[in-house]
């Protein structure tokens, strides 16, 4: 297996892969961004700036792949950023208290 080095953000702290495996979302603790990587070409296809986020520490993607949730740990942030994965833009910022981990469970319909 070959090692690939990408010019992504500063201080990558977490990574999540879309359910179809086509993209990797990397939380960059050092510069308050999320790098979107095309896993087929191993290239950075977008960089999402977290306008109300600081020091992202964790990231999770919804089971349908439509959203990425980013836990922003920094003192000034205390938020969770919601990224629309179709447009790679922040569509919401949720309050939190120094979130450090994040997980998503699928909805079960009976």
Query: What does the pLDDT look like over 59-102, one tens digit per residue?
Result: 999 999 999 999 998 866 689 999 999 999 999 999 878 888 88
Tell whether 25 is covered by a domain.
yes
Backbone dihedral region of 19: left (phi > 0), alpha (psi from -120 to 50 degrees) or beta? alpha
Range of the domain at 78: 12-95
pLDDT band at 28 (very low <50, low <70, confident <90, very high): very high
Structural domain count, the chain? 1
Asked if pLDDT for residue 1 goes beyond 70, the answer is no
For residue 57, what is the domain's CATH number? 2.40.10.500
Tell whether 37 is covered by a domain.
yes
Tell whether 32 is covered by a domain.
yes
Who has greater pLDDT, 98 or 13?
13
Output the pLDDT for position 2: 57
Output the pLDDT for position 58: 94
Who has greater pLDDT, 6 or 50?
50
Beta-bridge partner residues of 14: 27
Beta-bridge partner residues of 61: 68
Residue 18 CB neighbours (<10 A): 18
Output the pLDDT for position 100: 85
């Amino acid at each position: 297996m070959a090692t690939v080095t990408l010019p992504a953000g500063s201080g990558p702290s977490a990574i999540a892969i879309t359910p179809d495996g086509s993209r990797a979302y990397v939380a960059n603790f050092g510069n308050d961004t999320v790098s979107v990587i095309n896993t087929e070409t191993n290239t950075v296809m977008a960089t999402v700036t977290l306008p109300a986020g600081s020091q992202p520490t964790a990231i999770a993607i919804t089971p349908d792949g439509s959203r990425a949730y980013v836990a922003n740990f920094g003192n000034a942030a205390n938020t969770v950023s919601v990224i629309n994965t179709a447009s790679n833009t922040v569509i919401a910022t949720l309050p939190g208290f120094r979130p450090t981990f994040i997980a998503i469970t699928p909805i079960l319909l009976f």
